[in-house]
Amino acid sequence: MRTIIHLDMNSYFATVEQQSNPFLRGKPVCVAGKGSGERTVCAAASTEAKKFGIKSGFGIWEAKKLCPKIIVVPADYAKYQYISQKVFKILESYTPQVEVFSIDEAFADISHAVKDFLDAAPIAMEIKGRIQEEIGEYLKCSIGIAPNKLLAKLASEMVKPDGLTIIKKNDIDKILVKTPIEDFCGIGFRLKKRLNNLGVQTAKELGEFPLKSLIHLFGPHLGNLLHNMGQGRDDSEVLPYYQMPEEKSFGHSYTLPRDLTDTAEVKKVLLKLSEKVGRRLRKAGFMGRTFHLYVRFFDLSGYGQRMTLRAYINDGYQIYKIGERLLERYRPRKPIRMIGISVTNILHTSQISLPLLPEDIREEKVLAALDKINDKYGEFTVFRGALVEVKDRIENIPDGRNKRMMKLSF
């Protein structure tokens, strides 16, 4: 039988800040997604903040309403990623089969190292201890141990903070009886509502729901997946980064600190987002030719525009010019709240013919030189003059939670 560990760092961004700044320890802390303005959201809440009912995704104004003394700290994604890499390296010292699920979560298959679940518990405790000894004594994690990834993640959510929960094969049926369907990873609000309307509230009820009906209502893929989830089954393997499928898209979006009606100001934001996308494409070794612009307005309505080129590109400024054309095509007349740009239809650079025109070759060399400098000294150490006004105003736009890139950057 397989033995899978799921490690979940508790209140991760907030505890990293408390670890690095002892003044924050024991106090309600909210890590702001960007800056500390009222418009931004709480990317993470400390254990102390959660006692006031504050959760990730709350607006800063909501957090301050629940806890006027809350301390708002700007996010530092480079720091969080650096600590994550250290945590994942500890896991990899026990098994090469480590799958990074997000910046603060990972699966590890330790089947080869244990005879049964009782042998796994000391390993889990050792991992917890090493994180505190080697990285920071204020960092805590919850670990779930189970026969598969689905149940291991469920187990890690059962006791927080600093939990250790084991789901043995004989315990599965008892667990499913009392587990609400929304506790399973992958069942969000909309899917929960649809299942609730069918009279399905618990995992056991989902497992007993007729498979044919699930396939009819949700299609063969999702129908079978839901049926297996309801029965606690999951045959998916723990995939290290080098076994994972290639990236299919690259993109960034940004919720503005205030609604903007000035298109020129919106374009400045779009330029930085485009440069970030281009930088990520080049770092991963990809180029793309289909570009999608999305705009959300103050009333939460929105629109999307798409354009496909004949040639593949990964230059942030060229991506920006395409986004600019898409923005001007619609000419929005309502205040803009959020803007995003993404690239799909991508190929690895090894699959694309090299540029032949002198100006293209020169531009490619310039980009390579810029990337080399920014790799060494930090993002946007060297940047286009057009970004002067907006570079520091748009704070802490994180790279997408790209599992492979986090692992490859060790």
Give the residue numbers marked as catalytic.
105
Name the residue among 340, 342, 196 with its Cα closest to residue 266.
340
Sheet holding 164-166, edge to edge: 98-102, 105-109, 4-9, 141-146, 164-166
Strand ranges, E, within 10-118:
29-32, 42-45, 71-74, 98-102, 105-109
Name the residue among 279, 275, 309 with its Cα closest to residue 292.
309
Burial of 202: CB neighbours in 10 Å, binned 0-12, 13-18, 19+ = middle
In whole angstroms, give the CA distance from residue 70 to residue 260.
Answer: 28
DSSP secondary structure of 103-132:
TTEEEEE-GGG-SSHHHHHHHHHHHHHHHH
CB distance 360 to 291 below 8 Å: no
As a 3-state breakdown, the chain gives helix, strand, coil percent values, each rounded to 5, of 45, 20, 30
Q: State which H helix or E strand residue 91 sits in.
A: helix 77-92
User: Cα separations (Å) of 93 from 89, 98, 181?
Assistant: 6, 10, 34
